[in-house]
Structure 1
């Protein structure tokens, strides 16, 4: 099997470097050698680059394309809306789109829209502070909540005083990816950062400092890094602690919302947060996000005049996409999720079998609709600290090889409604070629 050649993308990248820093609009969209692949179009589960290479897409634009690329229903909804109104005005669609979310997300008694997951998360924190009258918040190592100075990255030098500082560690790819120059030097002073799945650590912190803590924000499953699932009773324990100490519990479901099911991770685990942030699959690929929550919390936006605004919030095209996406996901009582889970599970099982065949310590964790890969001699990772070592570096190499053989991922595999059994079979054939080229001895260091 031949690797893909991308001379056309290489030529564009050389031009792009003269006008676009890093040759791409996101640091996460480029290779280490600044050679992104430039796409021309997509259909279903396939993407096509400027050189005519056809890729099986399991990145799905980092998760949003839950229905695949160029979905007929979303495309028609957007075309119809363009003919009616495509400028940012208050439109009836935003009420209908908000109601669609409230129909399924347990915590979404009231809804506000924004344009990105980052915006949704910082708005949720602002509302939580206004509601509680407190300043600080708790977040967790390895969880990603967007690119803001105070929400992205950091390391904790002393677990006894879990206030993060800017920095990176050689054994921690996440800290390297999220470390940035230009961060405000005191950005982390307002937060605490703990290891996830450690209920005693959170219990101790809230007992000592709960009177100053407005919110606990977390991914209800670590779908961005390592795919760690909550240990039995963990989320329910966090819920109880937050209630006891008057702390707003925020679930960042930017990736899990409408991807693992209509009710998101909170529905799957049966634990209802006070607030939820959504994006990615919410709009099927169109830029849109939402922050939502309980009535008494969200009313703070109006009653205390919390500023939560933006020119493109609730944009008619985004609202049309939200409605169209959820309508498709709702059909036949959400039967599309059975398809997604089945094919995602088959791919996961197939990769697991290949890893054993080639003695590769490939560890696959998460939901069938969105699961991550790393390399580890451990059978299970439960938090970020558990996965430190060279496993993520090996995962990055594996992802790069997959891309050269025409399979797109982003440290995780996301399955869409458009994927077929042939996509699974083709992806496994190409993944086998990638696994053959990895040195398993270096992957066992984790």
Structure 2
């Protein structure tokens, strides 16, 4: 088949559970959808793999799927080159953190728009972020254990002494994704304990514990030029635990004034410029301290997870996926910076044990949707009129019935989430309180 007759196509790197809105948009454009996803993962990932090829399921719109580990960059590049011979590949989009490296290789290899080597490389490495972006970063040191491991506590004491700053500190394993293993250490003895627990060759970033309000700060960049920067207020369980599990997202923030918004946006644009970000989604997290200092916590070269893209859609009235696809295809595009409603996603805390049931009482028209037991994919949401009353859009269960729920020490332990919105001048906190009163998670504690 000659090149002129090749079907136009698009390669997307994504968890199958989060591919829905992008899949719909790509099919509407008449593009063959070529997906790269993980071989294994969460309950949602496993359900999605099980349903591949099912008639009538959204996954039936996937033309080809390659299940590959993210570290198999050679295999992924080879698969992409074979697709490029069969199809006219118009763009590459990365929606999953683990595939940022592979996505950069593939898009560069095919001569398609991408974040750029500096942005992709630095965003994938917590230590490089601190060193390249030191102007906006907390003080930090890298602790690396010997190849033969830590012999005794005395050696752990010496390694921990490399950090000579104030306590408490945040410790971040460099060999794990997202917030896994990130926690607060209150004093030097606790830091020594954490270092002593490291395995041979492990690397641990020890850094100043920055307190203050936290935000997602997302910049869409096309051809090196920022299109729009959007902010989302974050809430974690850090006040009640030593962990940093994200439990609340609010778009737009309800606790920022114009001056603070300008300070955070200025920092983000400086970071994007320093990284020479070329095309795509710069997803960063910042804190603003009580004295007005803006501190970068981390940055990624891909769209945020959870329901954050849903929140942008609900609050602006416009889905963001078409813009991401435009950027990936090198097309001129734009996204509204005006928020017409305020949207929030909450993850519910639960009692550890076997998940038996989730109930919602008093939420009109809302019943729990057990995604990990049914479709394995997050459905698309529809924005309502800007003057509509407070609206609960969905209550999702992302673990299967009978699953063993653990403490909320990392994001993968979360099980139940709700998404709702209110008018721009509405009371989002009151709506959250109503939703929380309505939802009950029933678990059966383990014996003993």
TM-score when normalising by structure 1: 0.32
TM-score when normalising by structure 2: 0.32
Higher share of residues assigned helix: 1
Higher share of residues assigned strand: 2
Greater relative CO, 1 or 2 (CA 8 Å, sep 6+): 1
